[in-house]
Amino acid sequence: MAVWYRKALEAVPAYEAGRAPAAGSGGAPPLKLSSNESLWGPSPAVQERLRALAGEVYRYPDPAATGLRRALADAAGLDPAQVVVGNGADEILRLVTTVFLEAGTEAVLPAPSFAAYRLYAALAGAAVREVPLGPDGGMDLEAMAAAVSSRTRVVFLCNPNNPTGVVTPRAAWERFLDRLPQGVVVVSDEAYREFVTDPAYPDTLAAVREGRPVIHVRTFSKLYALAGLRVGWAALPAGLAELLWRARDPFANNSLGLAAAEAALADRAWTAHVQAETLAARRRLEEGLSRRGLRFTPSQTNFVLLDVRPESGSAFAARLETAGIAVRATESFGLPGHVRITVPPAAHLGRLLEALEAAQAEGPRS
Ligand X SMILES: Cc1ncc(COP(=O)(O)O)c(C=O)c1O
Which residues are at the interface with ligand X (CB under 6 A)?
A: 36, 88-90, 114, 158, 162, 189, 191, 219, 221, 227, 232
115 and 97 Cβ atoms separated by less than 8 Å: no
Of the pair 125, 232, the CB lying nearest ligand X is at 232
Q: How far apart are CA 356 and CA 319, in angstroms?
A: 9
143 and 108 Cβ atoms separated by less than 8 Å: no
- Closest residue by Cα to residue 346 from 287, 296, 285, 275: 285
Q: How far apart are CA 177 and CA 157, in angstroms?
A: 12
175 and 186 Cβ atoms separated by less than 8 Å: no
Least distance from C-beta 249 to ligand X, angstroms? 15
Least distance from C-beta 73 to ligand X, angstroms? 18
Least distance from C-beta 285 to ligand X, angstroms? 18
Of the pair 86, 237, the CB lying nearest ligand X is at 86
Of the pair 91, 311, the CB lying nearest ligand X is at 91
Least distance from C-beta 3 to ligand X, angstroms? 30
- At 208 the three-state DSSP class reads helix
Of the pair 173, 311, the CB lying nearest ligand X is at 173
Residue number, nearest CB to ligand X: 88
- Do β-strands 232-235 and 83-86 pair in parallel, antiparallel, or remain unpaired? antiparallel
Least distance from C-beta 354 to ligand X, angstroms? 27
Neighbours of 78 (CB within 10 A): 21
Q: How far apart are CA 304 and CA 285, in angstroms?
A: 9
Of the pair 127, 227, the CB lying nearest ligand X is at 227
